[in-house]
Amino acid sequence: MAQQPYNLANIRNLLIQGFGDRELRRLCYYSSDFRPVCDGLAQGTGLDIIVDDLIEYAEKHVLMEKLLLLVQERNPERYGLHGPYILKDPTLALQKQAPAIPSAASLTPEQQYEVALHWEEGGCRGSLRGFDLHQVDLRGVDLPGANLCVADLSEAWLQLAILADADLRLANLGGAQLTKANLSGANLSGADLSGADLTGADLSDADLSEANLIVCTLAGADLSGANLLGANLIRANLIATALDDVPLMDGKWLLVWSILNESEVDRDLSEADLSGAYLSGAELGGEDLSGADLYFADLSRADLELADLSEANLALAALTGACLSMANLSRANLTGANLSEADLSDADLTDANLSWASLRGTVVDNNTQIDVKWLLVWSILNEGKASRDLRGADLSGVDLGGAYLRGADLRGADLSEADLSEADLSWADLRGVNLHEADLSAANLGRANLFRANMLQADLTGAIVDGANLFAADLRAASLNGASLTGAILKGANLFAADLSEAKLEGVNLFGANLFGTDLSEASLNGANLAGAILKQAIVTPEQLAQALSLAGTTLPDGTKHA
């Protein structure tokens, strides 16, 4: 039996105006026909979504007449205000009614794309809720007022698209290209716009409450009348963004906007919360930022000349190319900060914490006040020379990624937790060095002397360790996945629970080594000397062991000893 041609717009208005979300939940709950709708609702689901779900369910199960009778019984007064609910001329209805759009679940992604692309053609303006439009090209598409609630538009091309008044609640727009798109009046509450490009977009009167705008570009966008309360604007670009005189924006982000766009305004920034702020290129010369929280802030190319940043928290901040000449950074926390190409001439960094900070290409002069440890790190990175004498040096927790340390004498040095990824340590003397939890991924340790080195939990993923001396080295729980150790000496080394999967161990000397619980899956053991080694509970196949040069006295994975 064919359904009556119902006026869905009027029915929707009736439900929206006649009931609250709790009332509508109860109506569904106590009706056996509509109980499944209630069961499928998440806690906190808003009225609009409940109404859409209910209408969709009634249509699908031919229950629209029962729904109208139920509503009339519960709220007869309101029922009389929003009719008619049935279009009287079926022929006219067929001419005027938009072709029905199947639900997202019944269409392939390719079909969903075609539906969205031709949404307005022939009056086809049905729901696109939940559609998968990931990475599709919808540049210049007309989707005004479209229901795209919870749709996936991540990394979609939507430049110049018309999405005015669209319902994009909880939609995924992460990484989407929305340059100069029209989103005026759109509902984007709770939407994910992380990494999206909204340069020059029209977001006037849009609802962006609780939206995720991390690393989003809003440069030149119109946000007049928009609601940004509760929105996450970490590292969002607000340069030249238009706001109302009294914008609906959390105070922290309003301050960030002011710094970027109102350079003449006097403000006290001492102890200010600017964590995660996008302040790239900001004019902050001479400002008092003492004690300010600038954790993970983007201050690349910012002018901070003569600024007071004493005791400021700049951990993980991006300061690439920033001008910090004559700035006060004493006692500042610069842990993990990127200071590459920054100007630190005449700056005061007394007692500053520069653990894991990047100092490559940083400008330092004779007037820069910096602790000896960090000056040494700067020298290693920027004044590359072979065979350095670094015996007993404290290089713990430093960033020496890609450093040139070929042939360096590092005997007894402390490199615990240091970043030495991609560093050249070939032929280096590392006897007795402390490399506990150091990052040596992709480093070159070829022919290095690591006799009795402490490499507990070190990361040597993909490292070159060919021909190195690791006699009696402590490599417990170390990661050597994919590392090349061809011809290396690991005699008496402790490799308890280490990861040697996919490692090249051709011709390696593991005589008497402790390989208890070690992962050797897919490792090459051709010509390896495993005599006297402990392989109990190690992950290794008989076929791999058959490649070894010697297994004399080896404790095998099952605990038995090889003859």
pLDDT of residue 241 exceeding 80? yes
pLDDT of residue 111 exceeding 80? no
Q: What percent of the chain has pLDDT over 90?
A: 74
pLDDT of residue 1 exceeding 50? no
Q: Are 437 and 416 in contact (CB under 8 A)?
A: yes
Q: What percent of the chain has pLDDT over 70?
A: 94
pLDDT of residue 96 exceeding 50? no
Cα(219)–Cα(500) distance, rounded to whole angstroms?
Answer: 48
Helices (H), 83-151: 90-96, 109-117
Cα(468)–Cα(155) distance, rounded to whole angstroms?
Answer: 46
Distance set, CA 250 to CA 232, 280, 496, 547 (Å) = 10, 20, 52, 65
- Residue type for position 202: D
pLDDT of residue 491 exceeding 90? yes
Q: What is the DSSP string of 424-466?
A: B-TT-B-TT-B-TT-B-TT-B-TT-B-TT-B-TT-B-TT-B-T
* Average pLDDT for 200-216: 97
How much is the pLDDT for 56? 86
Residue 303 burial (CB count, 10 A) = 18
pLDDT tens digits along 70-83 = 888 888 888 888 77
pLDDT tens digits along 279-330 = 999 999 999 999 999 999 999 999 999 999 999 999 999 999 999 999 999 9
Q: Are 349 and 328 in contact (CB under 8 A)?
A: no
Structure-model confidence comparison of residues 103 and 154, the more confident one: 154
pLDDT of residue 482 exceeding 50? yes
pLDDT of residue 125 exceeding 70? no
pLDDT tens digits along 523-549 = 999 999 999 999 999 999 999 999 999
pLDDT of residue 95 exceeding 70? no
Q: What angle do CA 428, 432, 434 make, to 5 degrees?
A: 90
* Average pLDDT for 344-365: 98
Q: According to the 3-state scheme, what is the secondary structure of 180-221?
A: CCECCCCECCCCECCCCECCCCECCCCECCCCECCCCECCCC
Q: What angle do CA 321, 324, 330 make, to 5 degrees?
A: 130
pLDDT of residue 97 exceeding 70? no
Average pLDDT, the chain: 91
pLDDT of residue 494 exceeding 50? yes
Cα(71)–Cα(526) distance, rounded to whole angstroms?
Answer: 79
Helices (H), 186-324: 251-261
The model's confidence at residue 366, banded by pLDDT at 50, 70 and 90, is very high
Cα atoms in the 13 Å half-sphere on the side-chain side of 146? 28
The model's confidence at residue 90, banded by pLDDT at 50, 70 and 90, is very low
pLDDT of residue 91 exceeding 90? no
The model's confidence at residue 102, banded by pLDDT at 50, 70 and 90, is low
3-state secondary structure of 298: strand
| Nearest to 446, CA basis, from 495, 391, 484 | 484
Q: Are 308 and 284 in contact (CB under 8 A)?
A: no
The model's confidence at residue 48, banded by pLDDT at 50, 70 and 90, is confident
Cα(74)–Cα(63) distance, rounded to whole angstroms?
Answer: 17
Cα(337)–Cα(320) distance, rounded to whole angstroms?
Answer: 9
Q: Where are the domains of the chain?
A: 8-96
Pairing relationship of beta strands 248-249 and 227-228 according to DSSP bridges: parallel
Range name among 92-101, 156-165, 211-220, 489-498 with the lowest pLDDT average? 92-101
How much is the pLDDT for 89? 43
**pTM for the predicted model, two decimal places:** 0.79
> Which segment, 91-105, 262-276, 402-416, is predicted with the most confidence on average?
402-416
Cα(241)–Cα(216) distance, rounded to whole angstroms?
Answer: 12
The model's confidence at residue 3, banded by pLDDT at 50, 70 and 90, is low
* Average pLDDT for 442-465: 98
* Average pLDDT for 498-521: 98
How much is the pLDDT for 115? 77
